Amino acid sequence: MSTNALEQMVEQQVRTWDVLDDRVLAAMRAVPREPFVPRAWRSLAYADCEIALPGGKRMLRPMIVGRILQSLDVRPGERVLEVGTGSGYLTACLLHLGARVRSLELHEPIAAQARENLATLGAAAPVEVLTADAMDLSERSAYDAIVLTASLPVYQPLFEQALRPGGRMFVVVGARAPQQANLVRRASERDFAREPLFETVIEPLEHAPQPPVFGF
């Protein structure tokens, strides 16, 4: 691991994008990115870019990972649902913060690689990586925090319904650039609040509904 490159990532990318939570910065210092990056791209493990994964997927940029972790404010022992496992890097950061993670990945080859990546770091115990379509989610009031690593072209209430009262969800919404990153909080059984965080562009969640097309 390049200690200098990791420190530069944290200080020059993550911290400068208003990620100031010491627990988050410590987690990102503690989890090396190289094991989660395909071998051909490992020279870019700490670069400010999206890194290609199999199946046309991409790793989130480090500063977005930092903002996700800071906004969710995950505490030890909390149950977290991750929609879109990808490489498993964000999963590993959540585990380092003490979360118990259930991660859903649509594509089994990607899920299998993530499991292997996490096992390499000895991080497999409190994590469950499942091959599943998140649009089939039917759980209610099950999670303290939820993170969607792909965007929703149209907001889908099924995800917020899986939060426990007091739970938080990070979700990016929008069918075109720029998209809006939001923090959704469940105050009670029926009350939800949505806080806009920042604008970004990430790939859409597969099988998520698209906005209607109007024609004349």
Output the pLDDT for position 1: 55
What three-state secondary structure class fits 52? strand
Output the pLDDT for position 212: 86
Nearest 5°: the CA angle 14, 17, 18 is 105
Tokens at 15, concatenated: 């911290």
Bridge partners, residue 32, by sequence = none
Output the pLDDT for position 120: 84
Which residue is associated with the tokens 């069918």? 175
pLDDT tens across the length of the chain (216 residues): 568 999 999 999 999 999 999 999 999 999 999 999 999 999 999 999 999 998 889 999 999 999 999 999 999 999 999 999 999 999 999 999 999 999 999 999 999 999 999 998 775 568 999 999 999 999 999 999 999 999 999 999 999 999 999 999 999 999 999 999 999 999 999 999 999 999 999 999 999 999 987 655
What three-state secondary structure class fits 46? coil
- Neighbouring C-alpha atoms within 13 Å toward the C-beta of 100: 6
Nearest 5°: the CA angle 184, 26, 144 is 30
CB atoms within 10 A of CB 155: 16
- In this structure, are residues 69 and 15 in contact, taking their beta carbons and an 8 Å threshold? no
Output the pLDDT for position 164: 97
Residue 30's alpha-carbon distances to 51, 96, 101, 118, 191, in angstroms, are 20, 8, 18, 14, 36
CA dihedral of residues 204, 205, 209, 211 (deg, nearest 10): -20
Tokens at 91, concatenated: 């999963």
DSSP state of 136: G
DSSP state of 140: -
- In this structure, are residues 165 and 187 in contact, taking their beta carbons and an 8 Å threshold? yes
Instruction: Assign domain 63-200 to its CATH architecture.
Output: 3-Layer(aba) Sandwich (3.40)
The CA-based diameter of the chain, rounded to the nearest angstrom, is 58
What three-state secondary structure class fits 166? strand
Output the pLDDT for position 149: 98
